[in-house]
A and B are shown apart, each in its own frame.
Chain A
């Protein structure tokens, strides 16, 4: 293991101001920036490995970036979800609690799918959400059945890696 341990207090006092500024310029909102800066340092604390920090700001930025993306993902999913249930009949509209739970579920799935190419993602979702046979997915997307097979396999592999990362 590395010999130099991470001095979190030093890291905090040296870089907190800078990180807050960086986050603020991305989020355009001081309160969210303060929250995520706090979260970033919390993540550093939770991380057990003793990392030798030759570039502390790059390290903090990597974590902060991930948190910004989480934050945005949540916002975008919520917006997209509300749009897509807007046209449901009232009786079928889920309660606030159910919505919260479903969003959490969708968020966890979106996280696994993150980084997939759009075509791959579409093929995979059509096959999984609607249980369509590959031939029908191929027809909808205007690609060959073999491509669909490849996309579905690729998506599963991607999810596997995200879940069980080496």
Chain B
């Protein structure tokens, strides 16, 4: 892994860079320019995303405007892609909305996984399925899972996101979930597995789950009902109870008990496109309650009723929660 690969700005940072650029493009005031400069200086990823967004925008604009003839570029691209879409639909190729081969080749394994995933949900979506053996699989926001059933095992591969599995009994075929961080074998059970950026969180609701970390030579652990474990490159660590019910999402809820506001908002952000920020002044406020996930805008509007905060919407995907003054 080289340095530039490590510096890959994530989707949120890229969206922020785009917002900044759009904000400054309308002849911005000095205060906004200064704020943008501060944002860029904050982290190397910010600056990288900013540079890329700038050059991409510039490249597109100058490319499009260099085509001679008024409206020629616009008409060609509009007509061209409308017809392409119609043709794809006609020949049942439209599933590849992601584009042609060059795009595919330029990508790594990620999108390939996305395409081939047997079960998947988008941001803000939750889905439930019954598998061939009767086991139930629920997908939380932005999740992809492959399912491989064989005579000797039932294997789920969690590619990203979070799942709730309720296993059907089948003594001859253990049910296992594999992901980047380890292999989890259900021992008659119901459990939640959540893959974060750099680790995986297991919460066992019923029965038990055997955890075998990815790295060889590390011992496996059995997690019992009510327990939570964090699995990462360093092994398996038991966790204390958290301020949040780990399977409430399956009911479409966030249930928090005395949870830090910043943590709560980070949780809500998983279900939304765009930036959801938290003013450091209010980050440590505590929050308890039951919130519905199906409309996170409404959920945010509830916050000022219980906490001294206000929700600032700069655009649809730039929202911050700040101190109420």
Interface residues of A (CB under 8 A from B): 26, 43, 46-47, 49, 58, 62-63, 65-70, 72-73, 76-77, 79-81, 83-85, 88, 92, 94, 102, 105-106, 108-115, 118, 121-122, 125-126, 128-131, 133-134, 146, 149-150, 152-153, 156-157, 159-166
Contact B19 A153 (CB under 8 A): yes
Is the CB of B241 closer than 8 A to any CB of chain A? no
Which residues 34-88 in B have Cβ within 8 Å of A in the complex? 52-53, 56-57, 60-61, 63-69, 71-84, 87-88
The answer on a CB contact under 8 Å between A81 and B103 is: no
* Docked pose: A102 CA to B75 CA in angstroms: 14
Contact B99 A162 (CB under 8 A): yes
Bound form: Cα–Cα A79–B82 in Å: 12
Tell whether B281 is near chain A: CB-to-CB under 8 Å.
no
On chain A, the residues within 8 Å of B88 by CB distance are 69, 72
- By a beta-carbon cutoff of 8 Å, the part of chain B in contact with chain A is 8, 11, 14-15, 18-19, 21-22, 26, 52-53, 56-57, 60-61, 63-69, 71-84, 87-88, 91, 93, 96-112, 115-116, 315-317
Report the Cα distance A129→B65, complex, angstroms.
5
| Bound: A118/B83 CA distance, A | 12
* Distance between Cα atoms of A145 and B67 in the complex (Å): 27
Q: Contact: A156 with B57, CB < 8 Å?
A: yes
Considering the complex, give the chain A residue whose CB is closest to the CB of B66: A105
Q: Is the interface of B mostly helix, strand, loop or mixed?
A: helix
CB–CB B100/A70 < 8 A: yes
Chain B nearest CB from A68 CB (Å) reads 6
In the complex, A94→B98 CA distance in Å? Answer: 32
Q: Which of B22, B57, B74, B98 touches A130 (beta carbons < 8 Å)?
A: B74
Q: A69-B99, A84-B69, A105-B63 are in contact. Are A49 and B87 (CB under 8 A)?
A: no
Nearest-Cβ distance from residue A50 to partner chain B, whole angstroms: 11
Enumerate 8 A-B pairs (CB-CB under 8 Å) in ascending A order.
A66-B99, A102-B68, A110-B80, A111-B100, A113-B77, A114-B99, A129-B74, A161-B14
Beyond the given pairs A67-B100, A164-B52, A165-B103, 16 more chain A to chain B contacts, judged by CB atoms under 8 angstroms and listed by A's residue number, are A49-B109, A62-B104, A66-B102, A68-B91, A69-B84, A69-B96, A77-B77, A115-B97, A129-B64, A129-B65, A146-B315, A146-B316, A149-B22, A156-B56, A165-B106, A166-B108
